[in-house]
Copies of this chain bind each other. A is one copy, B any other.
C-alpha cells in the first residue's frame, strides 16, 4: 500500500468522517439536512485540494490557507461544511503533527488574523451574540491591526465559547484522545461513531450551544453519556438530535482532525 500525502490524508479524513454513521445529529450516510447533503461534504473535500497541497508544500500562512480553502469550497451552495475542520487541519499539515501544529499556532501573525476574518465573512458561521469582533463590521479588522492581535489571539478570544478554538489554545487534547481511541479500536467499522459519542459525552458541543443555546448543548451531552453507558440507543439519540436540529458540528470537526492524526500514525481505516 502506497503512502498517503498529507493533502490526501486530509481529504480521506473528511470523507471517512462524513460517511461514518450513525453519527447522531449530523450529516452521515443515512442523513442529509435540507440544504446540506452528504454530497456537499464530499464536494468540499474534493475542491479544497489546492489549499491542502499548498499547506503540504509549506506555502502560505494559516490565515491565508483557511481563507483560500473557504473560497474553494464555496463551489457548492451547501453552506459551511468544513470551516472548523480547516482551522484544525492546516496547522497539523503545516506543522507535521500535534506538537508541530502548536508551533505553527504560536507563530501566527496579525496578517493571519486579518485573512481569517476575511474567510469567516465568506461563511455562514454563527458568531456568538456577545462577540465584540463582528466579522461584518469593517471596524473589527481595524481593531485587530491597531491592537496587534495575531490569529492565535483571535482564536484564544473565542476559545471559551468554541471547542475547535480550544483545541488551538490547549494543544489538541480532544483530537489526541479521539485519535488514540481510533487506533485502539478493534476494527475501523464503528470506531468513528464511538469516538464521536465519547467526545460528545465529555463536553457540550459549542456549535449546538451557539445555534440552540447552552441548555440544549448540555442536554445533548447528557444523552450522549446515556448512549456511552448503554442506557440509550444510538439510533434513538440520532432521531432525537434530528428532531431538535441539534447537530454537533464542532465535535465532527475534531473527529476529522483525529482521523487525520490517526491515519498519519498508521491507523488502518479499512480494518
Contact = CB atoms under 8 A, between A and B. Distances in A.
A76 interface: yes
Q: Which 9 A-B pairs have the closest CB atoms?
A: A15-B42, A11-B46, A2-B75, A29-B29, A77-B270, A19-B38, A19-B39, A12-B46, A12-B43
Interface residues of A, number: 29
Contacts of A72: 2
A80 interface: no
Contacts of A42: 12, 15, 19, 42
A270 B12 contact: no
Interface in A1-46: 1-2, 4, 8, 11-12, 15-16, 19, 29-30, 38-40, 42-43, 45-46
B39 A75 contact: no
A49 interface: yes
B46 A15 contact: yes
Contact of A270 (B8, B15, B78): B78
A270 B75 CA distance: 11
Contacts of A30: 29-30
A267 interface: no
Interface centre among A15, A43, A46, A269 (most CB of B within 10 A): A46
20 contacts: A1-B74, A1-B77, A2-B71, A2-B72, A2-B74, A2-B75, A8-B46, A8-B49, A11-B46, A12-B43, A15-B39, A15-B42, A16-B39, A19-B38, A19-B39, A29-B29, A29-B38, A42-B42, A45-B46, A77-B270
B39 A269 contact: yes
Nearest to A188: B39
Nearest to A270: B77
Contacts of A49: 8, 49
A18 to B, nearest CB: 9
Given A1-B76, A29-B30, A45-B46, 13 more contacts: A1-B77, A2-B74, A2-B75, A4-B75, A12-B42, A12-B46, A15-B42, A15-B43, A16-B39, A19-B39, A40-B270, A76-B270, A78-B270
A240 interface: no
Contact of A47 (B8, B29, B45): B8
Contacts of A38: 19, 29
